[in-house]
């Protein structure tokens, strides 16, 4: 609650350009231990996106350059289709790799080890599509050699937190970041242990600061 109040106050004061606060939770799911859905809507088809879906993904995300950049670095996308139209999608960075799209927000990179998938930028535009995609995602990624899924969720996003918990995900850690002008202060807590400095491994994901630049770690 306090975190939500502070974030709202900072946004209203319009000072986030100079002072920014962010806190995210790490969630993990073992693919082979994923909850098996009892019933799934038949009007959705869930599969990995192919080269033929590039234009549709660019239109869906309204950002052709970002879609192409993600594909060039090897990230994959899983989509839910209804009548051949994309109505939900999620991106996965499959280890070994580095994920740094949240670098500006959190001031750090994430090192993803082999056989782990980092899911991000999920989006659903039709009722039931996102839930169906997330329920079938473990089976789709299992075919790609992924054995564990990890994601981060903003601590204010209760809807997403509840949704991931219902699918069998478990929270394993929290990362807090405060940015004051160009200075970063980051702390990590694994499960219910005390807060600690970076670098630290959370959910098998190593959290590292980028080389260069000015950072302050407490």
State residue 159 phi and psi, 5-degree precision.
Answer: -65, -45
Please, is 20 exposed, middle or buried when counting C-beta atoms within 10 Å of its C-beta (0-12, 13-18, 19+)?
Answer: buried
Across the range 197-206, mean pLDDT stands at 79
Mean pLDDT of 105-115: 88
Q: Give residues with Cβ within 8 angstroms of 138, minimum separation 6.
A: 29, 31, 34, 149
- Whether the upstream peptide bond of residue 199 has omega within 30° of 0, thus cis, is yes
List pLDDT tens digits, range 47-82.
Answer: 999 999 999 999 999 999 999 999 999 999 999 999
Residue 13 lies in a domain: yes
Question: What is the band of 2 on the pLDDT scale with cuts at 50, 70, 90?
Answer: confident
Q: What CATH number did the domain enclosing 50 receive?
A: 3.40.630.30
Contacts of 198 (CB under 8 A, 6+ apart): 108, 186, 187, 188, 207, 208, 209, 217
Q: What pLDDT score was predicted for residue 197?
A: 77
Give the total number of structural domains in the chain.
1
Does some domain include residue 68? yes
215 in any annotated domain = no
pTM (two decimals) = 0.87
Structural domain includes residue 217 = no
Indicate whether 140 pLDDT > 50: yes
Q: Is residue 90 a contact partner of residue 77, using CB atoms and an 8 Å limit?
A: yes
Give me the domain span that covers residue 56.
2-208
Instruction: Evaluate whether residue 30 is within a structural domain.
Output: yes
* Cα–Cα distance for residue pair 3/155, rounded to 1 Å: 8
User: 53 — phi, psi (to 5°)?
Assistant: -95, 0
The answer to whether 98 and 111 have CB atoms below 8 angstroms apart is yes
pLDDT tens, position by position, 172-192: 999 988 888 878 888 888 876
Domain assignment present for residue 163? The answer is yes
CA 181 to mean position of chain CA atoms: 25
Report whether pLDDT(35) > 80.
Answer: no
Residue 196 lies in a domain: yes
Q: Is 18 within the bounds of a domain? A: yes
Q: In angstroms, rounded to a whole number, what is the distance separating the alpha carbons of residues 152 and 27? A: 6
φ and ψ at residue 140, rounded to 5 degrees? -65, -45
The pLDDT value recorded for residue 16 is 66
């Amino acid at each position: 609650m306090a975190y939500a109040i502070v974030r709202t106050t900072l946004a209203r004061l319009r000072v986030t350009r100079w002072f920014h606060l962010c806190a995210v939770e790490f969630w993990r799911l073992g693919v082979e231990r994923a909850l098996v859905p009892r019933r799934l809507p038949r009007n959705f088809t869930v599969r990995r996106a192919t080269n033929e879906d590039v234009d549709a993904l660019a239109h869906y995300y309204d950002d052709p350059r970002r879609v192409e950049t993600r594909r060039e670095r090897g990230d994959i996308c899983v989509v839910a289709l209804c009548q051949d139209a994309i109505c939900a999608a999620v991106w996965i960075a499959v280890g070994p790799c580095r994920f740094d799209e949240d670098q500006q927000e959190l001031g750090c990179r994430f090192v993803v080890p082999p056989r782990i998938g980092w899911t991000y930028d999920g989006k659903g535009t039709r009722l039931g599509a996102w839930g169906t995609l997330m329920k079938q995602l473990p089976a789709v990624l299992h075919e790609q050699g992924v054995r564990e899924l990890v994601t981060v969720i903003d601590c204010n996003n209760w809807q997403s937190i509840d949704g991931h918990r219902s699918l069998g995900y478990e929270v394993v850690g929290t990362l807090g970041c405060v940015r004051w002008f160009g200075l970063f202060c980051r702390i990590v807590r694994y499960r219910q242990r005390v807060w600690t400095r970076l670098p630290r491994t959370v959910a098998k994901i190593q959290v590292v600061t980028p080389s260069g630049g000015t950072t302050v770690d407490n």
